[in-house]
């Protein structure tokens, strides 16, 4: 592959950058997997009421919403929180439970999750180019025998790149409209959306939505 040829020639800049990207991806994976996604704590109940009032003032939607207690862990849920059956906790601004990281994606780790997907996509695209550069197709059994690992790796990279790209695009779309995956999929079952006079009471425009999420 091109990367191997660069190492053999002593040109280490691109190989080092590639290794750093892979290392960054691994570190982000463990960070997102192990950190608190925004679990609701019992002492936050009073704050939940204040945040609910402030949330509806910010969206200029006068619809009243009654705060509810979680039927599983019995804490009073802030607006946009949801109980995760896998984690057995309520998560603030719950997006989804990701089986790949074994953790919820919520208020605290959602921006890092997007950063992880972005870095992972760069690694996969670069890895795909590296694998492709090492494939020189020949119609012979010997060629297939010596290149089967590289060929399978390339095909797997193509599959994972497609999955990560679609996942990243869908998340960026939802972020730009200030909607979580859970709200998008279960709009008809969520009380604070059912009683809202607006289709999406949290949408404040693409620029402000992105600014509030990332900054």
In a domain, 191, yes or no: no
pLDDT of 61 > 90? The answer is: no
pLDDT of 206 > 90? The answer is: yes
pLDDT of 55 > 60? The answer is: no
Q: Return the CA Rg of the chain.
A: 22
Of residues 88 and 48, the one with the higher pLDDT is 88
Range scoring the smallest mean pLDDT among 47-56, 83-92, 194-203: 47-56
In a domain, 87, yes or no: yes
User: What pLDDT, on a 0 to 100 scale, did the predictor assign at position 56?
Assistant: 46
Q: Which alpha helices (H) appear in the chain, and where do they start and end?
A: 2-8, 13-34, 45-59, 110-133, 141-176, 181-185, 191-194, 206-214
In a domain, 86, yes or no: yes
In a domain, 215, yes or no: no
Query: Domains in the chain: how many in total?
Result: 1
Active site residue 98: yes
In a domain, 51, yes or no: yes
In a domain, 80, yes or no: yes
In a domain, 193, yes or no: no
Catalytic residue (one of 84, 90, 98, 104): 98
pTM of the model: 0.83
Q: What is the mean pLDDT of residues 184-206?
A: 86
Show the domain range for 48.
Answer: 38-102
């Amino acid at each position: 592959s091109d990367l191997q040829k660069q190492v053999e020639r002593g040109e280490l800049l691109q190989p080092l950058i590639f290794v750093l990207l892979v290392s960054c991806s691994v570190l982000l994976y463990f960070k997102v997997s192990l950190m608190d996604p925004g679990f609701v704590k019992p002492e936050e109940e009073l704050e939940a009421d204040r945040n609910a009032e402030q949330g509806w003032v910010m969206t200029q939607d006068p619809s009243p919403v009654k705060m509810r207690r979680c039927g599983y862990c019995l804490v009073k849920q802030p607006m946009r929180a949801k109980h995760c059956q896998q984690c057995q906790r309520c998560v603030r601004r719950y997006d989804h439970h990701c089986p790949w990281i074994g953790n919820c994606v919520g208020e605290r780790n959602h921006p890092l999750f997007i950063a992880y997907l972005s870095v992972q996509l760069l690694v996969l695209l670069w890895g795909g180019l590296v694998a492709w550069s090492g494939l020189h197709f020949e119609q012979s059994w010997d060629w297939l025998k010596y290149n089967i690992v590289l060929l399978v790796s390339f095909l797997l990279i193509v599959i994972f790149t497609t999955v990560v790209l679609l996942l990243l695009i869908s998340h960026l779309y939802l972020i730009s409209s200030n909607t979580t995956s859970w709200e998008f999929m279960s709009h008809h079952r969520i009380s604070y959306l059912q009683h809202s006079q607006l289709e999406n009471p949290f949408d404040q425009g693409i620029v402000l939505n992105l600014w509030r999420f990332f900054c």
